[in-house]
Structure 1
Amino acid sequence: MVKDVETKAARGGTVKQHRGTGDRGKALSFDTTLWIDRLERFEGNFPEFIKQLLAVQCLVARASAGAIIEQGAEQGSWSVLAARPSHERKAGMPDWLSGALKRVPPVSNAKQAYLKKYCAQKKSSKEVGKQEYLIYLPLIYEQAHRVMGVFYVTVADESVARDRANGLKLTQSAYTCFDLRNQMRKQNKDMTIITHAMEVLDRFNEHSKYKSAAMVLCHEVATVWRADRVALGLQQGAYVKMVALNQTEHFSRKMQLIHDLEGVMEESYDQDIEVFWPASPESSVIARQAKRLSDRYGPECVYSFPLRREGEVIGVLTVEMPIDRALDEQGLEGLRLLCNLVAPRVDDLKEANKWIGTKLADSAKEAGKKIVGPTHTWVKVAVVGLSIALGFLFFWPVTDTVESPFMIDAVRRQVIAAPFDGYVEEVYAEPGDVVTDDQQVLATLSTGELRLRRASLVAELAQNRIEADIARREGNTVDVHIAQAKADAKQAEIGIVDDDIEDAAMRSPMLGIVIDGNLKPRTGGAVQRGEVLYEVAPIDSLRAELYVPEDRINDVELGQRGELSSAANPGRYIGFVVESIEPIAQVRQGQNVFLVRVKLDGLPAWMRPGMQGLAKVDVGTTSMVNKWTRGAVNWVRMKLWI
């Protein structure tokens, strides 16, 4: 376009030689409008546009030189975007441009061109007698962005310079139009990027299952960006494990392709950066695995994008494109945006689909990171936990107890024996029954023989009394005494028989529990006088007898407290106090034990003599290690004599 502009300028010059001043003005006005219209429709890049704009402006202003300058971050600091004629950096900046940068006027009206007189130190022969001016034309003059054009002109007088400055104002809109057009183009690209990313995200969010959502993500990325292969891998420990591959629902981890893809993902994960292949020559990113994947299955363009959540890489998305359809900047930005959007959702789905044990382990690890730091967390947590556990085992005091079996026994017992030789007739009580009344009959003996004997004795008593009466009537005193003595003897025997008949209904003289005497099987059987038939123990006389092993008897002392639990009611614990310790050992079930009697704090209604269970006597405090290893330590001491 610069060449076209210069050609038209040359033609304009020809017109000026053969036509009047009015005609030249009309020709210039027509050409200026044409050039400006072309600039406003310019589709090239920014550097080319700046050069074209500067060329047109220099021709419009008929300037000897011109430049477009931009204000830097510091107030008053200006830099050159383009200059005409161009100059080499080594040769230095022309004097007029250097002076123009120092004399930029304050701008009160961005639509106005500003004129400043300039005096060059050296003038050419053509410029002698002419005046020199600098024309400043604001192109963009905003608070954050300021761009101006500055032009060096030599004219006969100031009015000509002002006319040229006014002509330059027609070109102001070209820069603004180009800038707006670029902004609109960028916004359209951004909207396209956002639209593609949101479409994929919308389809991804339709799935609540971890595996299906990952498959949909890979498929949609491959569809929207027309990729050959898309793979998603998530971080597991120090590695990246591939979880989804487009168009492949099931895959084996033994496949070489899977190993290669995971290698590419780990390459991006380890460096915490995007890895592209082919890479730019100036790139310092390591991309060996990406190159190997491209050479083995391609050639392909390989792009790996880290998925981050709260600054931590949780996975990698790898995209393979045909070598002739490499992703442009718009495609890269779209994938970057998508990765940022899906990363939290992918992480949430991954956590939701974990086994409960894994969730607990991860929670413990996160808590450990806050305490011991993010590196080598499990090792540090294990060391701290082991130290705490050892400290607890060796130094934390716990109650030391002596465990031993026990049996409930009675302090006092009432024996109920057979009052005479006879037979068991009725049985009313069995072991375990409670005697609540002293008139309660436990059992009865047969009284048939006793009643026959009593009848015989009564007859003999009557005979003796008759004999005594006859002797009294005859006055035989001796026979009277003999008959009376026999009658008294029979009367005494009758009293004994009556007592036996009454004692046949056996009763307990005390209230309590029948602890012995199972007469049911002996109903109708014979019993002998004095044979023990029942044993009754008072309820308040029950006690427990503990059988303490000889290796722990030295730890047991009088007055110590403890608890016992019977096999009949293991959920109930009854307190006791040690009352006595037998000084002589007994052999019980092949083991030497000492008999320790204890007094119970309370006697529940369900407790019966003979009940057994386990008792624990509190003998002080000790450490857990000593409590658990006491037996082994004592055995070693006995064996090694230490």
Structure 2
Amino acid sequence: MTAETSIPSPEALAKQDNTPARLTLDELNQFAERGQGYDAWLHNLMADIPAFNAALLAVQTDRGVMQPVTLWPRQQAQLDRLGDLVDACGERQRPLILSPTTGEEYGLAYPLFVDGFMVAVFAGYVSLSTHDPDVVMADVEKHSLWIESRFHRDAYQQQREAFQRQQAVIDGYVAVSKGKAIKQAALQWVDSLARGFDCDRVSMGVVKQGLVTLDVISGSSDFALNNVTAKQITQAMQEACDQRRAIVWPVADAETDEADTAIDGGGIRLQAEKLSLAQRNAAVLTVPVYYQDEIDLVLTFERPAKAPFTQLDVDRLEANVALVGVAFHHRQQAELSFWGGCRRHVRLQLERLLAPGYVKRKLFFIGLTALVVFFSLARGEYQINADAVLEPLQIRVVSAPFNGYLKSAGFRAGDRVEKGQLLASMEDNELRLEKIKSISLLSQNNKQYTEALAGRDRAQAQIYAAQMDQAKAQLASAERKLERSELRAAFDALVVSGDLSQRIGGSVSQGEELFRLSPMTDYRLILYVNEYRVGDVLSGQRGRVVLSSMPDKGFDFEVKMLTPVTEVRDGSTVFRVEARLSATHALFRPGLVGIAKVSAGRRHLIDIWTLDLRKWLALKLWSFWG
């Protein structure tokens, strides 16, 4: 809460105009009209409740700060301690009665609310021995009704003024929109402005190519455009148009009225002064109306000398004509024919291009011309971008030779292996037992066969001979499985996939894939070309690819085959194109990705940059209109 130094005391108020100790309601309202309402109200309160030792009324300002407006007695110490009461009441948003601290008086604070917002706080200290706190609070609440009524009256006055301003804007908008002709609409508008703002005359001029032409004058549908007054009004309008600002004459002295202190006194106003002198020192206000940062209309308002224009008048008029001026501009454009509008627009652009100034427009035109010439002549290499993936030329799959259990696995994906190197092995205990069993069975059958031949039992000998063949077959099968239980690399290769380190001792099924091996010498490049550009890719075209793992190196390739295989990648349909690299690198690995560019000849740059857009638009137009 801030302090105010020019607050009269109730004693001084009592001496003023010989007012009695207790003011009537009419007298209180009269003091309020003279700006002394708060002092008079406090005087009445002190007259009704003489037990107050100190009292303060604080009112909330537009900035949300509680500002003291009247104080008794006028002492800094009283202001400080009463200010603490006001702050405490503002924080709690309710009436307060503070317990006595010295045993002789207690603090009292009462907030005043209007429409749910706290607008003022009364605070005071009352003798404890003379009055009951609840009775004093009730009396303060009764006296506060007058202040609340004043706030309601001020709010109603502000709403009424705002409604009048809005009504003036609506009247002008309706006048412009509903007129039978543009001339009649303009006349109705200036007539409504003259009535709404108590002007003797309102004139409107149209701006074309920076020159003002007087169009209509309020109260007259026909006037002589070449008379002296019309020329003076036109010159005053031109003066405001050239300076691109509102011109007021006379400029009110800052000491006469606080409402006028905000008027800008700068600028040249010679023509406004001449018009004022010619009209018996009339007050003159000229306001330019803008449309898209260009002055479209200029209005001149004239009042009697005893009613000069204030800054509030200027603000209201500028707000009024800004909205209605836009509607008037659209009304003008709506009444133009199509070719008339085209001619006006082209002429306006050419005039601005050739006229002095408008540097940005001229630079834009020069830049646009340079771009047209550049794109008409400039050509470049048409390159088709595509995602690329490095794949081995062939893949060898190592699978489980039979159903069994995994005994060992020494390699995993990413390891290099040499030809004949052991990749993994299967459990062979059962196979060895089966081999021994087959050998034993073969030996037994051979012995029985020999004995049958010695006994000349040919039939039994043939049976034993067949059993010997069966035992030999079982032995051969066991030996072959033992050989195949060790999985070895057929050539120098890279293990592309397969990690059996977590499956040692686990079962595998016959034919189950265990490893994938890729030779380290031959690779092919797979390109994924967007469907919009696949038609420009041909076999034999050359290009260059940069892999993500080696961004500082590029590798040449040649397109070998376009496959009719499509995929969806990142929401786009792409075709699979195979290419062969011209050279390999020691760091090549299957699965490396990168960006490839296929050279498809030279074209105009504008054709290259807009190819996708043109094809997409052509497709959409075909889908709509066929």
TM-score between the two structures when normalised by the length of structure 2: 0.47
TM-score between the two structures when normalised by the length of structure 1: 0.46
